[in-house]
Homo-oligomer: A and B are copies of this chain.
Amino acid sequence: MAKAKFTTSQDAITAILNESIPLFAKNGFSGVSIRHVSKAVGISIATLYHHFPDKKTLYLKSIERAFSDKAEGLTDVNNTPGTKEERLKLFILRFTELMSGDPNFRLLLQRELLDADNSRLQLLAEQVFKEQFQNVLNLAKEISPKCDPHLMAISIVGLILFHLETTPIRMYLPEGREEHNQPEVIAHHVYVLLTEGLLKNGGLKCSD
C-alpha cells in the first residue's frame, strides 16, 4: 500500500496548486499536462484526479488561488493620508512592487487576457479586479477630473504592466539596460511621466 503523503485533502490540494500555478504561468493551459503537474508534486495522475475532477478545474482553481492572494495586497490607497500626488506615487510604487514581486500572478493575468473567453473575463473583472480597479478609478477622477477615468485608470496600470511585460526583451532593444527592470526605476519613470507629461519644461526631469 502506498503511504499517505498528505494527511488531509487540503494539504494535498495546496501542494498541487503550489506546483500547478507556476507551471500554468510559465507554459499556459495547453502547455501543461496533468502528467507534468503530478510529477512535479510527486504523486500519481490518479491521485491528482482524486482531488480535481478534470484539467480545466485544476486550471481555474490555480487562477483562483493565485489571484485571491493578491486581492488584499493592494489596500485602498485612497484612504492613506497625503496629497493626491503623494497617493498616486504611493499607488504606483506599491503596484509595481506587487507585480514584479510575484511573476506568476502577472503572467497568469496576461495569459487570461489572451486565452479566456468572455464569461471568464467577466468573472475576473467583476469578482477579482472590480474593487481594486475602482480605487484606481477614484484616484484618476480626483487627479484628472476632466479626463475619462476609465481610459486613465487603464493607462496607469498599463504603463506599469507593459514595462514588466517587456522585461525579457528589453536588453536586446536599443539602449536597453539592466537597471530599467528595477521596480523603483519603473515606478519613478511612470510617476514622472503621468504627472508631468512629455513636453513640460522641454522634457521630463527624470533625474529628480
Given contacts A114-B110, A199-B195, A203-B145, whether A150 and B172 have CB atoms under 8 Å apart is no
* A29: B residues at CB distance < 8 A: 31
- Contacts A147-B206, A158-B159, A162-B162; is A193 near B199 (CB within 8 Å)? no
User: Would A173 and B125 count as touching, CB distance under 8 A?
Assistant: yes
Inter-subunit contact B174/A133 (CB<8 Å):
yes
Name A174's contact: one of B150, B185, B193 (CB within 8 Å). Answer: B150
The answer to whether B146 touches A204 (Cβ under 8 A) is yes
| Cβ 8 A contact of A193, one of B122, B152, B161 | B152
Task: Tell me how far the C-beta of A194 lies from the nearest C-beta in chain B, rounded to whole angstroms.
Answer: 5
Interface string of A149-165 (1 = CB under 8 A from B): 11110110111011101
Counting CB contacts under 8 A, is A53 at the interface? no
A152 to chain B, nearest CB (A): 7
Residue-wise, chain A 112-146 has the 8 Å CB interface mask toward B (1 for contact) of: 01111010011011100110011001000001111
Residues of B within 8 A of A134 (CB): 174
Q: Are the C-beta atoms of B206 and A146 separated by less than 8 Å?
A: yes
Q: Is A39 an interface residue (CB 8 A)?
A: no
Enumerate A167-201 residues with CB–CB distance to B below 8 Å.
168-170, 172-177, 180, 185-186, 189-190, 192-200
What is the interface of chain A, defined by CB distance below 8 A to chain B?
27-31, 85, 88, 107, 110-111, 113-116, 118, 121-122, 124-126, 129-130, 133-134, 137, 143-152, 154-155, 157-159, 161-163, 165-166, 168-170, 172-177, 180, 185-186, 189-190, 192-200, 202-207
A/B interface sample: 26 pairs, CB < 8 A: A28-B31, A28-B114, A28-B115, A29-B31, A31-B115, A88-B198, A113-B169, A124-B172, A134-B174, A137-B175, A144-B199, A145-B203, A146-B203, A146-B204, A148-B189, A151-B180, A152-B204, A155-B162, A159-B159, A159-B162, A162-B162, A194-B198, A195-B197, A196-B200, A197-B197, A200-B200
